[in-house]
Amino acid sequence: MRIDMFGDTLCAMVTAAAMAQSGHRVRWWLPPGRIARALDDDRVLYQEPGLSELVSAQRRAGRLDCRTDEPGLADVNGEPAVSETAPVVCLALQPGDLERAGHLADWAGRGGARLLVNQSVFPVGTTEQLQARLRDAGADTPVVCLPDTLQEGQAVDSFTRPHHILLGCDEREAEVLMRELLRPYNRRRDVLKVMLPREAEFTKLAISGMLATRLSYMNDMALLAEELAVDIDVIRQGVGSDPRIGEAYLYAGCGFGGPGFSRDVMSLTDTLRSRRIGAELLEQVLQINERQKEVLFRKFWRHYEGDVEERRVTLWGAAFKPGSDRVDNGPALRLIEALWAQGVDVHVHDPLALPELSNWARGKGTLTLHDDPYEAARDSDALMLVTEWKAYWGPDWDDLKEAMRTPLILDGRNIYDPAYVKRQGFTYHGIGRG
């Protein structure tokens, strides 16, 4: 089947490439910008395992055609670049592109598309609004919602081997077509959850809100664990053993971030406020998370009793999660700003995120970025573990201790064994572990 994909989001790239891999012929229309420029140079900017290889292979096979002369935008000016749409049109646009989504919906309806798929993270009710817009224009193209539930760091796997797929659809023929499109990813068992469009949009936000709440709850418990001199990791295992709760998203740490997770929670909070429903719980979740982003700084401050100016600190990890090069809303940013404010010399290592971090820091302050984690730690007064990349789990403790000026480990993800680290001659502070 022929598919027109619009957008330069990670969701757009993964969906386009995966659909092409399944045999569909995909035209991927990108707006001008860094994602499109990179593809023109045969590069993929999204650093996701297997994604660059997948995109390159489908382009070579001729099933994925990347274009930047967007027909929808040209059509706004009355001069459509392409008169014929594909049978299926997918919109995986940036959150602020709601107006553009309307123009592209008009284009799809006039072109006789059999189906319009909204994958964009827009306010609840947007899919219904697009459907009403097409009907008012006399188009009979059905509109469905396929919320972006990709997990950054494992985006390809989460699309091709999903635990669940949310589909907002209220027309039988549209559901039949969507089931056919998603059939390669729905074979082991039926993971497709069909509901009304606004129910699917709301469910996606509600999932993010629940996961964020679990994280912030455990971070609150970590504060209490320190006061009670117990290890929050032991508590986590005990809590997670209750089948009513489960183990996922119970890890105390130095805060969550990312372009999607935080945005979803804030969107859900805004929706609650707009409907005059109290959003106190989610507001507290966000406040706890912002507080938690500075927890490593506070431990550093207490260790040196406020004498931190001109000390040197190393961060291992800047990406908001392992496997990603994104730093958006990540705890490293808030932590770096707190360190800068006290005149601390900040050094950073990260396997993927240094270019993004450098762009963020431009004009804000001075960072020293390192390609080698041990060079980053040289002469440091503290090492802060911010992102739990696998490469950091088993360091050479002898080399690390020799490199550092003061052997102080501040473990923001509780990945180390405190007793073992202390036996190696380090001072250790984790989250909720003393």
Quick: pLDDT tens for 353-377. Answer: 999 999 999 999 999 999 999 999 9
Copy the structure tokens of residue 197: 């469009």
Residue 63 per-residue DSSP state: S
Lowest mean pLDDT, pick from 59-73, 105-119, 128-142, 406-420: 59-73
pLDDT at 366: 95
Band of pLDDT at residue 152, cut at 50, 70 and 90: confident
Nearest to 382 by CA among 428, 336, 320, 324: 428
Work out the number of other CB atoms within 10 angstroms of the CB of residue 419. 8
Cα–Cα dist 254/37, whole Å: 35
Pure H helices in 111-196: 126-136, 155-160, 172-182
Average pLDDT rounded to a whole number, residues 201-219? 93
Band of pLDDT at residue 82, cut at 50, 70 and 90: low
Lowest mean pLDDT, pick from 43-47, 161-165, 384-388: 43-47
Average pLDDT rounded to a whole number, residues 19-35? 94
Element (H, E) at 427: strand 427-429
What is the CATH T-level fold of the domain 292-429, as seen in this structure? Rossmann fold (3.40.50)
3-state secondary structure of 45: coil
Name 78's Cβ contacts closer than 8 Å, sequence gap at least 6: none
The pTM (predicted TM-score) of the whole model is 0.87
Lowest mean pLDDT, pick from 14-23, 29-38, 351-360, 400-409: 29-38
Whether the predicted pLDDT of 136 surpasses 80: yes
The percentage of the chain sitting over the pLDDT mark of 90, rounded to a whole number, equals 82
Whether the predicted pLDDT of 270 surpasses 90: no
Residues in the chain, overall count = 434
Whether the predicted pLDDT of 81 surpasses 80: no
Cα–Cα dist 227/231, whole Å: 10
Whether the predicted pLDDT of 79 surpasses 90: no
Whether residue 291 contacts residue 222, with contact meaning beta carbons closer than 8 Å, is answered with no
- Whether 2-195 and 292-429 share one fold: the answer is yes
Lowest mean pLDDT, pick from 65-74, 230-239, 270-279, 377-386: 65-74
Whether the predicted pLDDT of 264 surpasses 90: no
Cα–Cα dist 197/145, whole Å: 5
Average pLDDT rounded to a whole number, residues 239-246? 96
Domain range summary for the chain, segments of one domain joined by +: 2-195, 203-291, 292-429
Cα–Cα dist 259/36, whole Å: 19
Contacts by 280-287 with C-beta closer than 8 Å and gap 24+? Answer: 281/213, 282/209, 282/212, 282/213, 284/216, 285/209, 285/212, 285/213, 285/216, 286/212, 286/262
pLDDT in tens, 293-343: 999 999 999 999 999 999 999 999 999 999 888 899 999 999 999 999 999
Work out the number of other CB atoms within 10 angstroms of the CB of residue 277. 9
Q: Is 3.40.50.2300 the CATH number for 2-195?
A: no
* CA 309 vs CA 296, 305, 340, 345, 368: distances in Å: 16, 11, 9, 8, 17
Average pLDDT rounded to a whole number, residues 155-177? 96
pLDDT at 259: 77
Nearest to 397 by CA among 413, 412, 383, 381: 383
Pure H helices in 304-353: 331-341
Pick the CATH number of 203-291 from 1.10.1040.10, 3.40.50.720, 3.30.1600.10, 3.30.1540.10: 1.10.1040.10
Sign of CA dihedral 206, 126, 109, 36: negative
Whether the predicted pLDDT of 212 surpasses 60: yes
Copy the structure tokens of residue 78: 């009355």
Work out the number of other CB atoms within 10 angstroms of the CB of residue 288. 19
Copy the structure tokens of residue 68: 């930047």
Whether the predicted pLDDT of 276 surpasses 80: no
Residue 112 per-residue DSSP state: T
pLDDT at 434: 60
Sign of CA dihedral 8, 13, 19, 24: positive
Cα–Cα dist 309/300, whole Å: 12
- Residue with token string 């000390």: 311
Band of pLDDT at residue 273, cut at 50, 70 and 90: confident
